[in-house]
Amino acid sequence: MKKRIKIALIVLSALIVLYLLPFVAYLLVNNNNKQFMFEQLAYKPLVDSIIQKAENDDQKAMLIYKYVADNTNEPQGNQNPKYNCTYDVLTHKTASCDQQVWLLMALLRVEDIDARMVFLRGSDSISHHTVAEVDINGKWIMLDPFYSQQYPNNQGKIASVDDIITGNIPLRDLYAMPGSYRNLFAKQYPYKIHSDNKLDEPRRFMRSMLWGYQTILGKLFTGPFRRMHN
């Protein structure tokens, strides 16, 4: 009997330690990793709900893009929101073009869909607008959540930034494009790839562990985690 009690106590202790492990890790890491850990637990169920009807990465990317475009608005008047993280963009719903692309890349990363932030620059070498390029089946496509713009290329796929710059889109779409928008893709002002959404291996491992706890424990895990973060 005593042996059984001892085994039961050891098992219970091990389960408690396993449960507390992510919370202890959260207390020990720096602020950037704390924010990252919190965001992964917030983004996974959101993205799961957005893409529930999707059958492939193409459809997933478009549903996530539509969510960002529909749920973030252009700042009005003197508004100039400066957010510290993508979760701020998600909750405040008012964001510049950079910030909307930032959020789009973070949500796409949940599904391991590669994306990158692209600066469209003018004669002054300063970015005049920011769009996203998303890797679908090894091909880059351009998505612009700020203006809700995407274009077909002459091959019947969604155009990349290069497609638009080189004129590899139907003429009717090229001429229908507002002149001020078309000028953003001038050949003489090369665009700049600013950043991508790839995770390094330590963060990828951290994310997998968190999602595992979230799947098994649900609100028993995410509830305390949210209260710790807030």
Sheet arrangement for strand 139-143: 139-143, 127-136, 115-121, 192-196
Looking at residue 76, its pLDDT comes to 75
Reading the block at residue 150, the tokens are 């995407």
Looking at residue 77, its pLDDT comes to 67
Looking at residue 133, its pLDDT comes to 98
Query: For residue 218, which amino acid is it?
Result: G
182-189 long-range Cβ contacts below 8 angstroms, 24+ apart = 184/120, 184/122, 184/128, 184/129, 185/120, 185/161, 186/122, 188/123, 189/120, 189/121, 189/122, 189/123, 189/125
Query: For residue 193, which amino acid is it?
Result: I
Looking at residue 8, its pLDDT comes to 81
With vertex at residue 42, the alpha carbon angle to CA 41 and CA 44, rounded to the nearest 5 degrees, is: 70
Q: How many CB atoms lie within 10 A of CB 119?
A: 20
Q: Please give the Cα distance from 55 to 70 (Å, whole number).
A: 21
Looking at residue 20, its pLDDT comes to 93
Give CATH 3.10.620 domain extents, the chain: 51-197
Identify the CATH number of the domain defined by range 51-197: 3.10.620
* Segment (H or E) for 139: strand 139-143
Residues of the chain with confidence (pLDDT) below 50:
none
Q: Is the pTM of this model over 0.85?
A: yes
Reading the block at residue 213, the tokens are 């706890």
